[in-house]
Structure 1
Amino acid sequence: MEITGLKKQVFDFKQRETDTLVYFFAPWCSVCHLSIDNLEAVHNDQNTTQIIAIALDYQSETEVRDFIAQHELSFPVYLGNEEVKQKFKISAYPSYYVVTNQAEVRSKVAGYTTELGILLRL
């Protein structure tokens, strides 16, 4: 499965050398606003796992860009759609998935997660 980022870059889960931590969020989600800084801190502190975010249930690309700017995110953010949401069976925000380079879900959790909680899943 491929998804397109805000900078029109394409992400293919099967063309990765390492696992990828995928953060599914919605820009209107208050828990996402509270937890995204923990993910940014993990991204800044370690370089072994790829981290990306996928926006779902957004009204416009501008809404997603505002979320990115508000939290000064340094990892790639992609625009998801209903197909992505259904494939990963996203039912709550935020959702954290660790996906292998063979596009298999190794672990997942939903809701607020601390930096330590994120690191323990990697």
Structure 2
Amino acid sequence: NLEGLQSKQEEGELLIWLVALSYQSLEEVDVFLQRHQLRHPVLFGDQEMAANYHIGAFPTYYVVDPTGKVAARSVGYSTELGLRWQTR
């Protein structure tokens, strides 16, 4: 899960960016970040971005390797990406 990966970012092993696609205001995104204690940079996307990345459900996670290639994708609340990162 994202919270589990946060320590990897703090150790400099991972860079996490969040993308907000469904929001009414910047304040709404800020409240979400505070409520979940997330301290990652946020990019603001739109429905075109969601379509381009085949995002039909939230949350959707992508792991992108240093060359820019998508290394993993996960949809929904799961620990799959955390497990993949820990078993690298």
User: C-alpha distance in 2, partners of 1:103/1:90?
Assistant: 18
Q: Which amino acid aligns with 2:56?
A: S
Matched, 1:74 2:13: no
Q: Cα RMSD (Å) of the superposition?
A: 1.8
CA offset at residue 44 of structure 1? 1.9
The answer to whether the 8 A contact 2:18-2:42 is kept is: yes
Contact 2:74/2:81, CA 8 A, preserved across alignment: no
Give how far 1:65 is off: 0.9
Q: Would you say the 8 A contact 2:72–2:81 is kept in 1? A: no
Bigger drift between 69-78 and 42-51 goes to 42-51
Q: Distance in 2 between matches of 1:74 and 1:86?
A: 26
Q: Show CA shifts across 1:75-116 (max 9, x none).
A: 2122111232122110111111112334332221101113xx
Give the alignment of 1:29-68 within 5 angstroms.
38-45=1-8, 46-68=11-33
Q: TM-score, normalised by structure 1?
A: 0.58
More strand by share: 1
One-letter amino acid of the structure 2 residue matched with residue 81 of structure 1: D
1:120 is the counterpart of 2:83: yes
Offset of residue 120 of structure 1: 2.5
Query: Matches of 1:42 and 1:105 in 2, distance apart?
Result: 17
Whole-angstrom CA distance in 1 between matches of 2:51 and 2:67: 19
Task: Give aligned pairs, total.
Answer: 83
Deviation, 1:47, is 2.8
Percent of matched pairs sharing the same residue: 37
Structure 2 unaligned runs (5+)?
Answer: none
Higher relative contact order (CA 8 A, sep 6+): 1
- 8 Å Cα contact 2:5-2:82 kept in structure 1: yes
